[in-house]
Amino acid sequence: MDIGILLPTGNAQWDASDDPRELIDFARRAERSGFSSLFVNDSLISPRIEALTMLAALAPVTDAVTLGTAALLPFLRRPIQAAQSLASLDLLSGGRLVVTVGAGFPGRFGRPFYALSEVPWARRFDRLDETVSLWRALWAGAGSFQGEILQYADIPPATRPYSPGGPPVWLGGATPAALARTGRMYDGWLPYPPDPGDYATGLLDVRKAAADAGRAPEDVTAALFVTVRVDEDAEHGRRALDAYARASYGMPLEELEQIQAVVTGSGAQVREGLARYVAAGARHLVCRPAAVGLRALGDQMERIADLIPLLRAS
């Protein structure tokens, strides 16, 4: 059972007086508090510390925690350059990297990013899968790659990652097509369904797809991305969550919790809510603390950390 924390790398989560360099200490505190992984987001929605830059800063100042993306948007980067950066990160961290990838979403969460990146929106899922296949080929020492979308000949020797074959690559998403693709070719699954029942059903589909592809179903890590707010005052917690949802997504809490996993309440209630996902099969929880301001976020991180022994025991 792994329990990680999403670092607040976007300035929508900061107070005006916060110094982003404090994120280094935030990450160190998280590792000392018992979290087994540190994840960062990747987006153009609002100004934020670039994901791979943040992980590169964390690699030499942490010891054992997994360093991950949740989720990296590969279309924002040139495919071969991204493979080089990820291999370098895996080397610098001693093999502690996990790369969750996604293709973006319609509306303000995706299509405008493709235009800025000069990448076509059409066939975005095929492009994502081919990009991951290209990375794996380069990490294994291939000198060329011929896909339907990406073709490269005479590729110079690439940086080889610390981990044989490269870091694990997970997929975010819970559509039927995403479930099938996860089982077929990815090393892990990191969705955020609001209903634990939907998580259990999706995981069964992922494992069936893995078995149908001749893979061991248990080789696909079952992870969960979940927004968490620990607050003994239920009304205050809901207000704080609503402020967080509006600051981060420009939508009220009532809308956010219809599309993403959100768990709030007292420590006991949060533990119970997360335990439902554990019972549904989740084995790596990536918890996003819901607060605005690094001090308040640090307080939430410590409250979540208090639940780690109880969650692992469950």
Q: What is the pLDDT of residue 314?
A: 75
Q: What is the pLDDT of residue 47?
A: 87
3-state secondary structure the chain: CEEEEECCCEHHHCCCCCCCCHHHHHHHHHHHCCCCEEEECCCCCCCECCHHHHHHHHHHHCCCCEEEEEEECHHHCCHHHHHHHHHHHHHHCCCCEEEEECCCECHHHEHHHHHHHCCCCCCHHHHHHHHHHHHHHHHCCCCCEECCCCEECCCCCCCCCCCCCCCCEEECCCCHHHHHHHHHHCCEECCCCCCHHHHHHHHHHHHHHHHHCCCCHHHCEEEEEEEEEECCCHHHHHHHHHHHHHHHHCCCHHHHHHHCCEEEECHHHHHHHHHHHHHCCCCEEEEEECCCCHHHHHHHHHHHHCCHHHHHHC
How far CA 247 is from CA of 14, 15, 82, 214, in Å, comes to 10, 11, 30, 44
Q: Provide the domain limits for residue 251.
A: 2-313
Q: What is the pLDDT of residue 109?
A: 64
> Are the CB atoms for 100 and 68 separated by under 8 Å?
yes
> Are the CB atoms for 77 and 53 separated by under 8 Å?
no
Mean pLDDT by runs of 10 across the 314 residues of the chain is 97 94 98 98 86 98 98 96 98 98 81 90 97 98 97 94 96 96 98 98 98 97 98 93 91 95 97 97 98 96 97 86
Q: What is the pLDDT of residue 13?
A: 93
Q: What is the pLDDT of residue 249?
A: 86
- Cβ neighbors of 131 (< 8 A, separation 6 or more) are 74, 75, 79, 82, 101, 150
Total structural domains within the chain: 1
CA–CA distance, 275 with 200 (Å, rounded to integer):
13
CATH number at residue 205: 3.20.20.30
